[in-house]
Each structure stands twice: as structure tokens, then as C-alpha cells.
């Protein structure tokens, strides 16, 4: 979670700058990022095969028990 601090002024003279700062802070607050893993097809296939191997090993252990 990220925190943004916006510096605003109570002065009438700085009203437009304060308003623009608050608008910017609101827009920045609404930005949503989605994290994805950057993998090529080979790496994805290797990960899938490793997961399948682990699943099959667990299945073998269940049959032995």
C-alpha cells in the first residue's frame, strides 16, 4: 500500500494550485496496478510440469499409505 501526501494551502491566493493538487492526488489514488509474472512459454511449461510431478508424487504417497 502506498501513501501520498498532498501539500495544500488554506490561502485564497493559492486556491487553484490547491485544487489542482487535490485533483491530481485523487487521480493518483485511483490508479490500480495488476501484477503479472513475465514468463515465456518454455518457463510456463516447465512450471506446469513441475507442478504435475509434485501432484503425482503426492498421489503415489497416498497409494503407498
Q: Encode pLDDT of 3-34 as tens digits.
A: 888 899 999 999 999 999 999 999 998 888 88
Distance, CA of 59 to CA of 55 (rounded, Å):
6
pTM for the whole structure: 0.48
Angle at 24 between CA 20 and CA 28, to 5 degrees: 175
Range with lowest mean pLDDT among 10-14, 26-30, 38-42, 56-60: 38-42
Instruction: From residue 19, give the alpha-carbon distance in Å to each of 27, 32, 49, 52, 60.
Output: 12, 23, 55, 56, 65
CB 29 within 8 A of CB 5: no
What whole-number distance in Å separates Cα of residue 10 and Cα of residue 50? 60
pLDDT of 39 strictly over 90: no
Amino acid at each position: 500500500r502506498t501513501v501520498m501526501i498532498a501539500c495544500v494551502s488554506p490561502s485564497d491566493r493559492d486556491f487553484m494550485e490547491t485544487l489542482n493538487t487535490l485533483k491530481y492526488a485523487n487521480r493518483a489514488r485511483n490508479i490500480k496496478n495488476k501484477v503479472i509474472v513475465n514468463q515465456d512459454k518454455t518457463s510456463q511449461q516447465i512450471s506446469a510440469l513441475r507442478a504435475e510431478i509434485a501432484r503425482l508424487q503426492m498421489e503415489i504417497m497416498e497409494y503407498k499409505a
